[in-house]
C-alpha cells in the first residue's frame, strides 16, 4: 500500500492530536470558572471540527496533486517540468526528431540541429531525408508498428552514416532517433582494407614460394644450377614475408603504447650518429655518401630510444633507397627554429632531425598519403628495393606517441626532405 495515501483513521488521529490543546484550554478555563462548562464544551467541539475540516481539505488537495508544496499541475510546476524535458531532449547525444502525423518535423534536439541546421521545425521530413528505408520506417511507426532500425546515409559537406530508429509516439506522432555511426563505419572499412592489404602483400611471395617448391619437386628435380637459383629467390621471398610480419608486429606494438608518451631522456645526437654508422653498408651499395651535420651541445630529448632509432633508420634508409645513386644524403640535427604549420606544440623547445636526399622527389598529390600503411608511390620500385610500404606508417605512429611532428617537403627532380621535431627534455 502506498504510504502517502490518506486513510480516514489517520486523519482522525491527527484531528484528535491537533484539536486536543484547544479542548484542554477550554477545560482549564471552565475549571477556573472563566467560562461556563456548556460554552467550554461547545468551544472544544468547534476547535475539533475546525481542525478536521482543514485536514480534510488538505487531503483532498493532495489527492488532486496541488497540495501546499505546489507540484506538477500548477502552472509553475508544469513549466519547470517542460524545461527539464527540453534540457534532457537537447542533452541526448543522438539526433532526435519528433514528427507529426503528416511527417513534418515538430521538434528537433540540439544534435539534430547540428546535422540538419537550425530550421528543420515545421518542414516535412523528406526535405532532409529522402532515404526510402527511413521513410518506410516512419510510415510503419505512424501506423503504430515498431519497425526495425535501418541504415541511412545523408550527403552534405561531410557524408554521414546514420542508424535510424522510428518509434511510435502515441497518440499521433513518431520519434525518429538518429545515431551517427560515421566513425564506426570508417573504422570498419579501414580494418577491412587493412586485412585485404595484408593478405595481398603476403599472397605474392607465398605464391612465388609454392610455385618454386612445385618446380623443384618436379621438372627441376635434378637440375642443380636451376635449384641453386630458385632457392636464392625463395630465400628472398621468405625474407620479404618476414620483413612484412616484423613491421606489422612492430606497428601494432607502437599503436598499443601510443597513449602513453615516453618519459626517458635520450641523447638524440649519439643515437643519430649510431644509426648513420649502421647504415654505411647500404649507402656503399648505392655509392651514396651520408653527411652528418649534428650540432654540438644539444640537450636530450624526451623519448623512447629504440623507437627514435627506428625513426632515424627508416628515414635514412628511404633516403638511400630513393635517393640518387652516387648522391649525398644529409642528416641534420639541430635546435628547431620553426615548427610545422598547424602543429600544436606542447613543449617549450624541440630538436629538428632532417633527412635530405637528392632523389627524384615525390609529387605533391602523394605527400598526404605517404604515411598510410602499404601506400607506395611506385609499388614495383618499392618491392624491388625490399620495401614493405610500412616504414613511414611506423614513423608516423612513433612521432604521434612522442607528441612530436613530422613534415615532408619534396621537389620533384631535386629531392626530398623529411623532418621530425622531437620535444626537448626539460
Cα torsion 230, 235, 240, 242: sign: positive
Is 391 an interacting residue with respect to ligand ADP (CB under 6 A)? yes
Based on the shown chain and the rule CB under 6 A, indicate whether residue 362 belongs to the binding site for ligand ADP: yes
* Binder of ligand ADP out of 370, 404, 420, 424 (CB under 6 A): 370
Residues 322-361 that bind ligand ADP (CB under 6 A): 322, 357, 359
CB of 381 to ligand ADP, least distance (A): 7
**Which CB, 109 or 314, lies closer to ligand ADP?**
314
Query: CB 383 → ligand ADP: shortest distance, Å?
Result: 8
Does residue 376 bind ligand ADP (CB under 6 A)? yes
What character string, x for contact with ligand ADP (CB under 6 A) and - otherwise, covers 282-321?
--------------------------------x---xx--
Contacting range for ligand ADP; rule: CB under 6 A; set: 70-78, 87-95, 217-225, 377-385:
377-385
Q: Which is nearer to ligand ADP, 180 or 357 (CB)?
A: 357
Of the pair 165, 401, the CB lying nearest ligand ADP is at 401
Binding of residue 105 to ligand ADP (CB under 6 A): no
- Considering only residues 279, 351, 416, 424, which one is a binding residue for ligand ADP as defined by CB under 6 A? 416
Which residues inside 226-245 make contact with ligand ADP, applying CB under 6 A?
Answer: none
Interacting residue with ligand ADP among 388, 401, 405, 419 (CB under 6 A): 388
Distance of alpha carbon 396 from alpha carbon 311, whole angstroms: 9
Among 165, 382, 397, 419, binds ligand ADP (CB under 6 A): 382
Nearest to 275 by CA among 240, 314, 225: 314
Choose the stretch contacting ligand ADP; rule: CB under 6 A; options: 30-38, 95-103, 248-256, 382-390: 382-390
Task: Please give the size of the binding site for ligand ADP, defined by CB under 6 A.
Answer: 21
The residue ranges that bind ligand ADP (CB under 6 A) are: 314, 318-319, 322, 357, 359, 362, 370, 375-378, 382, 387-393, 416
Amino acid at each position: 500500500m502506498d504510504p502517502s495515501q490518506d486513510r480516514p483513521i489517520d486523519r482522525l488521529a491527527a484531528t484528535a492530536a491537533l484539536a486536543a490543546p484547544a479542548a484542554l484550554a477550554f477545560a482549564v478555563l471552565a475549571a477556573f470558572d472563566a467560562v461556563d462548562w456548556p460554552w467550554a464544551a461547545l468551544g472544544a467541539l468547534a476547535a475539533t471540527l475546525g481542525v478536521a475540516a482543514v485536514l480534510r481539505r488538505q487531503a483532498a488537495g493532495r489527492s488532486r496533486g496541488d497540495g501546499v508544496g505546489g507540484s506538477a499541475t500548477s502552472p509553475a510546476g508544469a513549466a519547470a517540468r517542460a524545461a527539464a524535458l527540453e534540457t534532457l531532449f537537447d542533452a541526448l547525444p543522438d539526433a532526435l526528431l519528433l514528427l507529426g502525423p503528416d511527417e513534418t518535423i515538430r521538434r528537433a534536439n540540439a544534435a539534430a540541429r547540428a546535422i540538419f541546421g537550425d530550421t528543420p521545425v515545421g518542414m516535412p521530413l523528406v526535405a532532409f531525408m529522402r532515404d526510402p528505408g527511413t521513410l518506410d520506417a516512419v510510415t510503419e511507426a505512424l501506423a503504430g508498428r515498431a519497425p526495425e532500425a535501418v541504415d541511412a546515409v545523408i550527403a552534405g559537406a561531410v557524408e554521414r552514416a546514420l542508424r535510424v530508429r522510428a518509434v511510435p509516439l502515441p497518440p499521433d506522432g513518431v520519434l525518429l532517433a538518429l545515431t551517427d555511426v560515421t566513425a564506426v563505419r570508417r573504422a570498419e572499412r579501414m580494418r577491412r582494407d587493412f586485412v585485404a592489404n595484408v593478405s595481398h602483400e603476403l599472397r605474392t611471395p607465398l605464391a612465388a614460394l609454392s610455385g618454386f617448391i612445385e618446380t623443384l619437386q618436379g621438372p627441376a628435380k635434378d637440375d642443380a644450377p636451376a635449384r641453386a637459383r630458385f632457392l636464392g629467390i625463395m630465400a628472398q621471398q621468405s625474407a620479404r614475408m618476414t620483413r612484412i610480419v616484423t613491421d606489422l608486429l612492430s606497428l601494432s606494438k607502437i599503436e598499443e603504447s601510443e597513449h602513453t608518451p615516453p618519459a626517458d631522456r635520450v641523447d638524440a645526437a649519439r643515437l643519430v650518429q649510431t644509426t648513420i654508422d649502421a647504415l654505411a653498408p647500404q649507402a656503399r651499395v648505392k655509392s651514396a655518401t651520408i653527411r652528418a651535420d649534428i650540432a654540438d651541445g644539444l640537450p636530450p630529448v624526451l623519448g623512447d630510444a629504440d623507437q627514435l632509432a627506428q625513426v632515424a633508420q627508416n628515414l635514412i634508409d628511404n633516403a638511400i633507397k630513393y635517393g640518387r645513386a652516387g648522391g649525398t644524403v644529409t642528416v641534420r640535427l639541430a635546435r628547431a627554429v620553426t615548427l610545422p604549420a598547424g602543429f600544436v606544440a606542447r613543449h617549450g623547445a624541440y630538436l629538428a632531425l632532417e633527412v635530405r636526399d637528392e632523389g627524384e622527389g615525390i609529387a605533391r598529390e602523394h605527400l598526404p598519403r605517404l604515411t598510410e600503411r602499404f601506400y607506395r608511390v611506385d609499388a614495383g620500385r618499392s618491392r624491388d628495393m625490399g620495401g614493405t610500404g610500412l616504414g613511414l606508417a611506423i614513423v608516423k605512429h612513433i612521432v604521434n606517441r612522442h607528441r612530436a611532428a613530422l613534415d615532408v617537403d619534396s621537389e620533384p627532380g631535386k629531392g626530398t626532405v623529411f623532418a621530425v621535431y622531437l620535444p626537448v627534455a626539460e
